[in-house]
Amino acid sequence: MREVEPRQKPSASADEIGHAAISTQRLAGARALSQIQETWAALDALQDTPMQQSLWTESWLSASGASDRLRVLVTTSPRESTGIAALVHHGGRSPSLMPAGAIELGEPVDLARGGPRVLGALCQALARGPWPVHLPRVLATSPTIAAFHQAYRRRGLVRVGPAKPCPFLSLDASWAEPERHLSPRRRQDLRRAERHAERLGKVVYSFHSPSPEEAAAVLDEAFRVEAAGWKGREGTAMSFDPVVGTFFRTYALAAAQRGILRVALLRIGGRGAAMQLAVEHAGRHWLLKIGYDESFRQASPGILLLCESLRRAATENLATYEFLGGVAPWIKPWTSEERATVSLSAYPMSLASVSALSRQAAARVLRTLRRQWQWMTRSEV
């Protein structure tokens, strides 16, 4: 059965919020992104994270081929610039809207916003629409959460649940010597790794802020190093995933065009041993991808490169080092700081929402029955 979305007028409507008129525009399909490209790009510098910027969404839509399922809401105020919700329509039995790549990439996502009024109008426009909206992982400090609660009051239901936190590290001048922050045992391990690396060959750290012309060659080497590690063995390296790999290459080239791309490489004996793919935004270092060649495993090349990367970030007076992803054993020796994230789901009063909530309730009941059956089966043995 083919899903039919309610017809929407392409012309902008006006909502009265406070004393300022805020216009709301609805767009759909592949052309929608090109129509708002300049507007969104002008908003990028105001965003808290790179994942809210136009480059992230544009790159994912290009790599995944999901542009035809794009649904865009734009709210504009003469006082507060613009708010943008560029969401991908996911069909199936429980259709919904989600930010581009939210599930596949797993990073915290959010709406692009210029101020509280346009954000409120954006959420109100979503509440008037037919589809549930899911943000699988959003920073718990985001004003978007309160804006959704306010917009869906008497118009629907908002659910907020736990999600995995994001590790980060607050930088200061002391991080120009990262080793000082390690325990004595960890410092000893680091020195041992350095000596082992030096026995294997000349150790060279290189940090690149490549131009668009230089970026392709640097990315080729970074991709090769990542594929030479466990990710390559398990088939999860960027080189082996046609969609994710294309996304990161497309995004990195676009980031190089903006001057925010950062690629770090460790070479031992002239061979690539470890890599990092990152961007700098809002005075913060955002680590997107890491990898190392397993043939250098005993030299712990990933840890050696991380140490030098932290040193460089501190000497460049960056505020934080954002590890993204989730808490992992290799991060814990360096920091215990975490940014809490939550999952946010908003259901307007619509048949699509009733269907989604009914299926979720049925799934919970089924899980409960399965647990009870397993408990009864074990107790009879």
- CATH number of the CATH domain containing 205: 3.40.630.30
182 and 289 together in one domain: yes
| 95: its two tokens | 């259709």
32 and 141 together in one domain: yes
Evaluate whether residue 242 is within a structural domain.
yes
User: Cα 199 to the chain's mean position, in Å?
Assistant: 38
Asked if residue 108 lies in contact with residue 166, where contact means CB atoms within 8 angstroms, the answer is yes
Spatial distance between the Cα atoms of 148 and 116, rounded to a whole number of angstroms: 12
pLDDT at 155: 86
pLDDT at 178: 98
100 and 156 together in one domain: yes
87 and 29 together in one domain: yes
154 and 204 together in one domain: no
User: Cα 1 to the chain's mean position, in Å?
Assistant: 33
Evaluate whether residue 104 is within a structural domain.
yes
pLDDT at 243: 97
Evaluate whether residue 329 is within a structural domain.
no
* Contacts for 7 with CB less than 8 Å, ≥ 6 apart: none
Spatial distance between the Cα atoms of 169 and 100, rounded to a whole number of angstroms: 27
SS3 209: coil
261 and 194 together in one domain: yes
Evaluate whether residue 8 is within a structural domain.
no
Evaluate whether residue 374 is within a structural domain.
no
Evaluate whether residue 67 is within a structural domain.
yes
153 and 263 together in one domain: no
Range of the domain at 39: 13-161+342-348
147 and 197 together in one domain: no
Picking from 54, 22, 59, 23, the residue whose alpha carbon sits closest to that of residue 40 is 54
Q: How many residues does the chain have?
A: 381
Spatial distance between the Cα atoms of 159 and 306, rounded to a whole number of angstroms: 37
49 and 177 together in one domain: no
141 and 183 together in one domain: no
* 3-state SS record for 7-47: CCCCCCEEEEECCEEEEEEEEECHHHHHHHHHHHHHHHHHC
pLDDT at 12: 44
* Contacts for 108 with CB less than 8 Å, ≥ 6 apart: 49, 51, 137, 138, 139, 166, 324, 339, 341
Alpha helices in the chain (DSSP H): 30-43, 54-64, 102-105, 116-127, 143-152, 184-200, 212-227, 230-234, 242-258, 301-315, 351-380
Average pLDDT, 10 consecutive residues per value, the chain (381 residues): 42 45 92 92 95 97 96 90 93 85 96 93 94 96 98 92 98 98 97 98 98 96 94 87 97 98 98 98 98 96 99 98 96 98 91 60 52 53 47
Evaluate whether residue 327 is within a structural domain.
no
Spatial distance between the Cα atoms of 235 and 137, rounded to a whole number of angstroms: 25
pLDDT at 379: 52
84 and 110 together in one domain: yes
Characterize the bridge pairing of strands 284-292 and 320-322: parallel
154 and 180 together in one domain: no
Asked if residue 314 lies in contact with residue 349, where contact means CB atoms within 8 angstroms, the answer is no
Which amino acid would we find at residue 259?
Answer: G
Our count of domains for the chain comes to 2
Evaluate whether residue 353 is within a structural domain.
no
